[in-house]
Structure 1
Amino acid sequence: MAVMSYDIIVRQLAIRSDVLIENFKPGSTPTIPYSSPSTHNATSTALEKWDLHPAAIHPYNPDLIYTRVSGYGQTGPWEPRPGYASVCEAESGFRYINGFPDEASGALNGPPVRPNISLGDSVAGLHAAFGTVLALLQRQRKKEAGEAGGTTVDVSILESMLNLMEGIIPEYDRKSKIRGPSGSSVTGIVPTNAYPCLPASSSSTTPVYIVIGANGDTLYARLMHLIGAPHLASPQYAQNHQRAVPAAQSAIEEAIRAWTSVRSTTDVEQALEAAKIPVGRVVNVKDMVEQGEQLRARGAIQDVWVPSKGEDGWSVKMQGTFPVLEGCEAKPRWAGPDLGAHTGDVLGGLLGLSEAELQRLKEKDIIG
């Protein structure tokens, strides 16, 4: 008996599915019929080479949503380029504004600073999820109008990161301004920064930092009176655009640093909380897991059970499920199943493959 090939398996699953998500490197979509896979363009993605692209599947499942995630998108001169999060973060302008500025020019001074996470991948994933939900809502409206609901959601890491970049493009277009890095503050918002406090112990000389966000005008005035600098709360500093002038910002930042640097983070936090001024400690994961009362209260850190064959299993802490939906107790059900754990359920349940057929697929290394 012939063994079903991997592309036929995926095709049959796609015909029975609502959404197909892929992140292969794009290429040219072939226009040849399904019966001629051997003549596919060599630069096509795996889906195109296997005739699993939208034009091949939509005749059999016209309501299928294709969500395609890539570095630079499915069109344009950079379409065939491989794109990882790191390089797309750089091309989006994000890396340029992360670091410390040259004092004279304001341009990036030295290598850009990278957050120690794969931010571009996570942001692209959020765009893919949101785009898929939008496509499903659009499909519902199309079907109500008697139309086929299938479509393609084209997500690029480059554009996902660009979407985070606030007003840098209109700033350049209208004012020829090139936003540069600003260290631990943010351009044009004063004061919001990380300020040094006393070291955590008497044996250390390294300051501990705390973040203060008092850029609202009333918050700013309260902060200046709290730190004993009422002269900086005079009318010439009353509004943010006045405080964002370099000389004014320098005076304000120095006054705050002088106040925080002789106090512990606890003292600073308590004083600012009493004055209802936004403040937060710069914490690490140990602090969050062991002392994060807000995170614990909202179930943001969950203990998830991991079963183990032949053993009792074990528990691991991990992030909860966000956002929180009223009336819905959403939390992780597992830390991640073993690779292939549900292959039998999917292929048997959706495609009706027997145990014997699944075994033959395993013997041919088509499934694990």
Structure 2
Amino acid sequence: MPDRPLSDLTVIDCSTLIAGPMAATFMADFGAEVIKVEHPAVGDSIRNFGREGQALSWKWLGRNKRSVGLDLSDPDGAETFKNLVADADVVIEGFRPGTMERWGLGWETLREVNPGLVFVRTSGFGQTGRYRERPGFGTLAEAMSGFAEVTGFPDKPPTLPSLGLADAIAACYSTWAATFALYHRDVNGGEGQVVDTSLVEPLFSIMGRLTVDYSVNGTVKTRTGNRSAYSAPRNTYETKDGRWVAISGSAESVAKRILRAVGGEELAEDPRFATASKRLDHGDELDAIIADWMAERDREEILRVFEEHEAAIGPVYDTADIFDDDYFWERGALERVDDDEHPDLVMPGVVPHLSATPGRIDHAGRDLGADTMAVLTERAGLSEADVHELEARGVVRLG
């Protein structure tokens, strides 16, 4: 029996940057053989992301993948790609809509090569609709989904996340959509199909409360800082020693525990804060009481008091704090990975945790073209001489 749940799957990842490649990484972590097809001259753009000479994002997003340098825009490269697709289960691409078709590698062509193929297409705005041909990045999706408009403080500009949030959420959606499609194919006897994932819609979809609230009440949510328009207390607070903590009273029982931790029974029974609705009505007063209490105590004392009351609280961590907290190591959320270039390389571990068939990290991202010869001779029907001929013309790259 396979030791990982996707061990029988072959995935071809010819996408770039984050949304498509991350979906492929999730599948690779859980056993799929992922063949990363990259442009032979420059590779995936993520290899050059950040400071020159440090392709650290690639070490993470390229983990557990075999790298093949192959030019899909070249007719011979396209034919070689079709040979790879013939016995693959999933193809993930992330080009602007119409690009794969221009190379003779669109869905109608690939489904003839492999009727059971699941074709995951990630793009800024999707394969249909009036914006389909626009270039799209996560930043635009974070703006147009409504996320930026409700993030930040009322007197400040809309706030974009400092990481690839839209891409990451799109990757999650693509991953489970691909597994849904594979289930339909393998369990229900269905054929292959296209998964059409934009960057805008997944992020928009997780903000469902805003949509239904507007449709029913005409309410347009505004920026509230770290406060919530739906529950109180909820905020970040500075402590006496200049650290920060975050609390949330989303559940009634937890809200009462927070009030008892801060002000005892007197505060817990204060009629101004007796219900969720009243706490929202008197949010400024409640926030001031909690902020004053926090400002008089060091963070460790605050954490201890809240834990004694089983009240929800979390310290606001930076990356150094995360590395110092044994919890992240105990859970495998941080994992050391062998790497010749960076001996101290640590990256996020594999999540979630499966009890019988857990995922694992076999290796960090490999050099561009490191597996070209092996993959094309094993899986695309080419001889070594064929590969060297394509290399001479710049169609492939050998690592």
Matches within 5 A, 1:171-186: 171-186=213-228
> Out of 365, 374, 383, which is 1:336 matched to?
365
Q: Secondary structure at the match of 2:321?
A: helix
Report if aligned partners of 1:229, 1:255 keep a CA contact under 8 Å in 2.
Answer: no
Shift of 1:329: 4.3
Q: Secondary structure at the match of 1:162?
A: helix
Is residue 175 of structure 2 the alignment partner of residue 138 of structure 1?
no
Is residue 377 of structure 2 the alignment partner of residue 352 of structure 1?
no
Partner of 2:335: 302
Name the CA distance, whole Å, in 2 between partners of 1:125 and 1:232.
Answer: 44
Across the aligned residues of Structure 1 and Structure 2, the Cα RMSD in angstroms comes to: 1.7
Q: Secondary structure at the match of 1:211?
A: strand
Partner of 1:208: 243
Partner of 1:66: 119
Matches within 5 A, 1:185-200: 185-199=227-241
Report if aligned partners of 1:217, 1:238 keep a CA contact under 8 Å in 2.
Answer: no
Residue 316 of structure 1 aligns with an amino acid whose one-letter code is: L
Q: Deviations over 1:57-114 (max 9, x none)?
A: 212311111100001111111111111100111000001001111xxxxxxx332122
Higher RCO, Cα 8 Å, sep 6+: 2
Q: Structure 2 regions of 5+ residues with no counterpart?
A: 1-73
> Out of 161, 173, 187, which is 1:127 matched to?
173
The alignment covers a number of residue pairs equal to 323
Matches within 5 A, 1:1-368: 5-26=76-97, 45-101=98-154, 109-143=155-189, 147=190, 149-199=191-241, 207-228=242-263, 230-234=265-269, 235-245=271-281, 248-289=282-323, 291-307=324-340, 314-368=343-397
Report if aligned partners of 2:124, 2:136 keep a CA contact under 8 Å in 1.
Answer: yes
Report if aligned partners of 2:124, 2:134 keep a CA contact under 8 Å in 1.
Answer: yes
Q: Deviations over 1:307-341 (max 9, x none)?
A: 36xxxx72411110010110334221112111111
Report if aligned partners of 1:236, 1:242 keep a CA contact under 8 Å in 2.
Answer: yes
TM superposition score normalised by structure 1: 0.84
Name the CA distance, whole Å, in 2 between partners of 1:225 and 1:64.
Answer: 57
Report if aligned partners of 1:185, 1:193 keep a CA contact under 8 Å in 2.
Answer: yes
Name the CA distance, whole Å, in 2 between partners of 1:344 and 1:86.
Answer: 37
Name the CA distance, whole Å, in 1 between partners of 2:132 and 2:367.
Answer: 34
Shift of 1:236: 4.5
Shift of 1:229: 5.6
Q: Structure 1 regions of 5+ residues with no counterpart?
A: 27-44, 102-108, 200-206
Name the CA distance, whole Å, in 2 between partners of 1:60 and 1:177.
Answer: 50
TM superposition score normalised by structure 2: 0.77
Name the CA distance, whole Å, in 2 between partners of 1:126 and 1:224.
Answer: 37
Residue 366 of structure 2 aligns with an amino acid whose one-letter code is: P
Shift of 1:222: 2.6
Shift of 1:239: 1.9
Name the CA distance, whole Å, in 2 between partners of 1:329 and 1:56.
Answer: 36
Q: Secondary structure at the match of 1:244?
A: helix
Shift of 1:140: 1.7
Identity of aligned residues (%): 28
Q: Secondary structure at the match of 1:182?
A: coil
Which range moves more in the overlay, 58-67 or 252-261?
A: 58-67
Report if aligned partners of 2:260, 2:309 keep a CA contact under 8 Å in 1.
Answer: no
Name the CA distance, whole Å, in 1 between partners of 2:299 and 2:245.
Answer: 7
Name the CA distance, whole Å, in 2 between partners of 1:226 and 1:153.
Answer: 49
Q: Deviations over 1:192-222 (max 9, x none)?
A: 11011013xxxxxxx3210112332222223
Name the CA distance, whole Å, in 2 between partners of 1:61 and 1:352.
Answer: 16
Q: Deviations over 1:132-188 (max 9, x none)?
A: 111111112442xxx5x1100000000011012131111011000001111012212
Residue 5 of structure 1 aligns with an amino acid whose one-letter code is: D
Q: Secondary structure at the match of 1:159?
A: helix
CA radius of gyration, larger in: 1
Name the CA distance, whole Å, in 2 between partners of 1:357 and 1:325.
Answer: 42
